[in-house]
Amino acid sequence: MKAFLALVCILMIATLSWAQLDLEITPDTPVNIPETGGWFDLLLSLENTTAAPVSFEAWIDVELPWGFSIFLKTPIELTVPGGFITSHELEVYVPSFAPAGEYRLTAGVGDYPSTIIDCDSLIIIKAGTDGLAGDLRGWQISGDFFTSLQPQAERLVEAFPNPFNPTTTLHYQLTAFSPVNLKVYDSAGREVAALVDGWREAGSHEVTFDASLLPSGTYFARLTAGEVTQVQKLILLK
């Protein structure tokens, strides 16, 4: 399957004129690896060519000389805002016992394996030993493979003041561009306020909860950001 996807990528590079995402690998010339193996650097650049957010998966695999493919980076889920541009430096290690021959490293974005939005490839030429055709050990890749774009530990930092009367400010932190939903419920589970519903950039955010028309009591602010949900207890004293 991966070898087939690599072929699809080659055809796409030759024919694709527009896509939601533009993915490029630098260098665009073959990389030569000596018989002793070694590291090489590459730059992976990604651009959202539209004005709207795009959700997708990203991955890297390498096709071996005998046609079999292995993942160097398994698919990860990402979302980027409209017009977003980013570049990431990676290092790839080819082991000494990798058989001599031509390898194709391919980075792809889309919905693996059914849809490829864009992809790019790099040829690796390994010199020396014939090695063992079935020996897949030792390949390594290091660096930030878009991991800084993944939603992580979103947190509702605090509500201040708390207890409060009649307003309090809710502070929350996002580690990546994420869909955010922030609502407040009473102690019976009834929704009393919808404070945030939409996409927000990474970073610190705050929103005011006005309980002027609500009675004293205990309330709960429920934050959902990406796949993370957290709850903050609020005390209204009038």
Tell me which residue has tokens 């990203």: 58
Among the listed residues 2, 115, 112, the one whose alpha carbon sits nearest the alpha carbon of residue 67: 2
Alpha carbons 97 and 36: distance in angstroms, whole number: 8
CA triple 101-113-65, angle to 5 deg: 10
Residues 33 and 74: beta-carbon distance below 8 Å? no
Alpha carbons 194 and 228: distance in angstroms, whole number: 18
Alpha carbons 199 and 135: distance in angstroms, whole number: 45
User: Counting Cβ atoms within 10 Å, is residue 116 exposed (0-12), middle (13-18) or buried (19+)?
Assistant: buried
Residues 66 and 129: beta-carbon distance below 8 Å? no
Alpha carbons 96 and 98: distance in angstroms, whole number: 6
Alpha carbons 120 and 109: distance in angstroms, whole number: 9
Q: What is the pTM of this model?
A: 0.63
- Residues of CATH 2.60.40.3080 domain(s) within the chain? 155-236
Q: What is the pLDDT along the chain (238 residues), one digit of tens a residue?
A: 444 444 446 444 433 434 689 999 999 899 999 999 999 999 999 988 888 888 899 999 998 888 788 888 988 888 888 788 888 899 999 988 888 899 999 999 998 888 889 999 999 999 986 655 555 668 889 988 887 676 655 566 678 899 999 999 999 888 777 788 999 999 888 999 999 998 888 788 999 999 999 999 999 998 888 767 788 889 999 8
User: Rounded to 5, what percent of the chain is helix, strand, coil?
Assistant: 5, 60, 35
Residues 231 and 224: beta-carbon distance below 8 Å? no
- Residues of CATH 2.60.40.3880 domain(s) within the chain? 2-148
Residues 218 and 234: beta-carbon distance below 8 Å? yes
CATH 3.90.1310.10 describes domain 155-236: no
Residues 191 and 197: beta-carbon distance below 8 Å? no
* Maximum distance among all Cα pairs of the chain, rounded to whole angstroms: 80
What is 2-148's CATH topology? Immunoglobulin-like (2.60.40)
User: How many residues would you count in the chain?
Assistant: 238
Among the listed residues 232, 228, 213, 45, the one whose alpha carbon sits nearest the alpha carbon of residue 157: 232
